[in-house]
Structure 1
Amino acid sequence: MANDKKPVAQQQHDAIMANLRNKKYKPIYILMGSKDGTESYFIDSISQYIADNVLAPEERDFNQVIFYGADTSMRQVIEQAKRFPMMAEHQVVILREAQMAKEFDLIEKYIEKPNQQTLLVICYKGSIDGRKKYVSQAQKIGEVAAFAPLREWELNAFIEEYVKSKGGNIDRKSSAMVAEHVGSDLKRLKSEIDKVFVTFAPEAPKNITASLVERCIGISKDFNSFELRDAIVAHNIEKANLIVKHLMGDPRSGGLFAMIPTLFAYFQNLMLAHYAPAPRDATAIMSYLGLRSEFAAKAYTEGIKHYSPMKTIQIIDKFREIDAKSKGLDATANTTPEDLAKELIFFILH
């Protein structure tokens, strides 16, 4: 089912951070990726917070050690973790790039009887087999979190949460513009949003609009994938073709590859909306698809008027066909991305 709520990875991150801010420390933190990849932003955020906040500056020289997997072994890390703090309540031991550490499985013996005065933080790029005994043991006494990369459809929620955390507001169109332009690099997303916040006076309302995004980040508020989606939802053929023409002619827009994720996600959700208990009721659709507002749900109640379930299935199949052609499958040597974009939009609208 479509999900417009806070991404799972962010929920895990925020829960761990809440405990840390309340000084509810655990002896072991295993922060890793998943089989689908690793979102290092959340891992780095947690480990850096621990490094910067658990100990006072004057306590760190003797009680905080940061190892790197390529330069150390798990044996050395464990020896350090077993030591007791000097003139401090805690010791912090961080192992970055843990997937490169020699003898990593030695951690199992340490986790059986960890030093309760040490915070051992394991930053692991990739996934650890959840069947390992030390993983289940670590879950009982510490924190184990797997941070997968955010999907395209989760970026809006991440952006909105970050803006909210800085005391601001951003509308859905503006967050979609930022997500489309920047992509899934969360550090860069934050950096681009910070550019917008710099423009606000200290006491002024911090409302991020499409015009601000256009001015500060350099994205067209009128010609982007989000606007194209809205034109398609309304079955506005003229506007949709105008936007496609602009996108394909602007090298900064990302062209076809920027269009497909936004539109594909919409039609996937529309397929679900067709079979919702009350598919023409915005409030019901909002609940069924896990959306944040009736405004977002109206894109689906409107789309249902123009695209039947059968047409929606055909459109989803067409996306797969266009994606294959863009990779050179079943396409002639002379086929251009512009040709594929026109073919896709024509199929959707006719």
Structure 2
Amino acid sequence: MDYKKILANLKKKDYAPVYFLQGEESYFIDQIVDYIDKEILTEGEKSFNQVVLYGKETDFKQVVDQAMQFPMMAAYRVVIVKEAQSMSSLEKLSSYIDNPSTQTILVLAHKHKKFDKRKKAFWAALKKNAVVLETKKLYDNQVPAHIIAKSKENNLRIDNKTAFILSEHLGNDLSKIANEIEKLALNIPAGSTIDLNHIQQFVGISKDYNVFELQKAIGAKNKKKAYAIVKYFAQNSKANPIQRNIGSFYNYFSTLFLSKKFEKADDRTFASKVRVNPYFAKDYKAAASNYTLPQIKRAFKLIHAMDKASKGVETRRSNEMGIYQEFLFKLFA
């Protein structure tokens, strides 16, 4: 079931006897566990009716023992198993899941990976009586849309450019994104549009010297601006780690590589084929026209060399400014 649908049902008090939450993206699992932990029982009911277990420290018998107890002066008993992926006997819960207590809400938080599909009895029991969530890490090109949606949840707006800059700075760490947007919501009026000044003041991203502006400069072959931005990055490396920027360079030239195939298409078709926001279609098409395919392929080799240099592999150059300068010098040559 979809994460939003599960939360919506919980808020309507439409509870399932078992929740099996699994997958690579912990954020969505944590959100559901947090809601169940805080909202189903009152503080007074929790003392006798809510228990949190940890997979490394428990086995299926303890889970079943807790789940089979009757609630005391409450409608439900809540049993949460965190780190269920570390529970060696997890599949042995299939008998309980096949016939669960209707007065217990059992939550199994199986994070960072999917449970073995070959455990057929376990999956058959889940299919019969459980709500199952499977989470996946967002792709980089999905993160700006998530930031826009998360901003809306916090009664804020954000434009495509600012969402992209935030995504490049924060990556696909959804917990970090949520924290930064909540911080913005505390500091700017409800209903406001998050702009570059806000993210500079409250997130610490320069409105002039950021990955978005560097990509634009590289795409336009604006050497002066590109060198100025990498100088800022090198001088502020804690906020602008070189490994993150190398990843951004790789993603950018990967998009340019695909852009060459569709640069003559209209913006809507281009955005769909290249998997970018239509807002950025013109920028990518213009950049693609400035680079030949051999130049883009060469850029990948330069990025690979930059990555090795940043790690001190096969090079004597260790300072970040030198690494950035060598990359740009060879790129623009």
Same fold by TM (over 0.5)?
yes
Question: Does the 8 Å CA contact 1:274/1:309 hold for their aligned counterparts?
Answer: yes
Match 2:5 to one of 9, 15, 35: 15
Counterparts of 1:82 and 1:296, CA distance in 2: 55
In structure 2, the residue matched to 1:160 is: 148
Deviations 1:84-128 (A, max 9, x none): 444544332111122333532311222222223322111123422
CA offset at residue 136 of structure 1? 4.9
In structure 2, the residue matched to 1:317 is: 301
> Does 225-234 or 181-190 show the bigger shift?
181-190
Say how many residue pairs are matched. 331
Does residue 171 of structure 1 match 2:167? no
Match 1:283 to one of 262, 268, 280: 268
- The DSSP-based 3-state class of the residue aligned with 1:42 is helix
* Alpha carbons of structure 1 residues 126 and 214: separation in structure 2 relative to 1, 3 Å: closer
CA offset at residue 71 of structure 1? 3.3
> Structure 1 vs Structure 2: percent identity of aligned residues?
33
Counterparts of 1:181 and 1:283, CA distance in 2: 26
Does residue 147 of structure 1 match 2:135? yes
In structure 2, the residue matched to 1:50 is: 36
Counterparts of 2:112 and 2:155, CA distance in 1: 34
Mapping for residues 1-350 of structure 1, pairs under 5 Å: 12-34=2-24, 39-101=25-87, 103-127=89-113, 128-133=115-120, 134-201=122-189, 205-276=191-262, 279-292=264-277, 294-329=278-313, 331-350=314-333
Listed as ranges, the gaps of 5+ residues in structure 1 are: 1-10
Question: Does the 8 Å CA contact 2:54/2:84 hold for their aligned counterparts?
Answer: yes
Counterparts of 1:151 and 1:328, CA distance in 2: 29
Deviations 1:218-246 (A, max 9, x none): 22111111110111122222211211122
CA offset at residue 150 of structure 1? 4.1
Counterparts of 2:42 and 2:103, CA distance in 1: 15
Listed as ranges, the gaps of 5+ residues in structure 2 are: none
Deviations 1:143-163 (A, max 9, x none): 333434445444323322211
Matched letter for residue 267 of structure 2? A
- The DSSP-based 3-state class of the residue aligned with 1:196 is helix
Question: Does the 8 Å CA contact 1:195/1:216 hold for their aligned counterparts?
Answer: yes
CA offset at residue 183 of structure 1? 4.3
* Alpha carbons of structure 1 residues 309 and 12: separation in structure 2 relative to 1, 3 Å: farther
CA offset at residue 312 of structure 1? 2.2
- The DSSP-based 3-state class of the residue aligned with 1:253 is coil
Counterparts of 1:262 and 1:32, CA distance in 2: 29
Using structure 1 for the length normalisation, give the TM-score. 0.83
CA offset at residue 217 of structure 1? 2.2
* Alpha carbons of structure 1 residues 281 and 343: separation in structure 2 relative to 1, 3 Å: farther
* Alpha carbons of structure 1 residues 216 and 308: separation in structure 2 relative to 1, 3 Å: same
Counterparts of 1:19 and 1:227, CA distance in 2: 42
Question: Does the 8 Å CA contact 2:55/2:81 hold for their aligned counterparts?
Answer: yes
Moved over 6 A (4+): none
Matched letter for residue 328 of structure 1? G
Matched letter for residue 111 of structure 1? I
Counterparts of 1:311 and 1:44, CA distance in 2: 44
* Alpha carbons of structure 1 residues 22 and 312: separation in structure 2 relative to 1, 3 Å: farther
Counterparts of 1:60 and 1:41, CA distance in 2: 24
Matched letter for residue 317 of structure 1? K
Q: CA RMSD in A?
A: 2.6
Question: Does the 8 Å CA contact 2:19/2:132 hold for their aligned counterparts?
Answer: yes
Using structure 2 for the length normalisation, give the TM-score. 0.87
Return the structure number with greater relative CO, CA threshold 8 A, min gap 6: 1
Question: Does the 8 Å CA contact 1:280/1:301 hold for their aligned counterparts?
Answer: no
> Does 15-24 or 236-245 show the bigger shift?
15-24
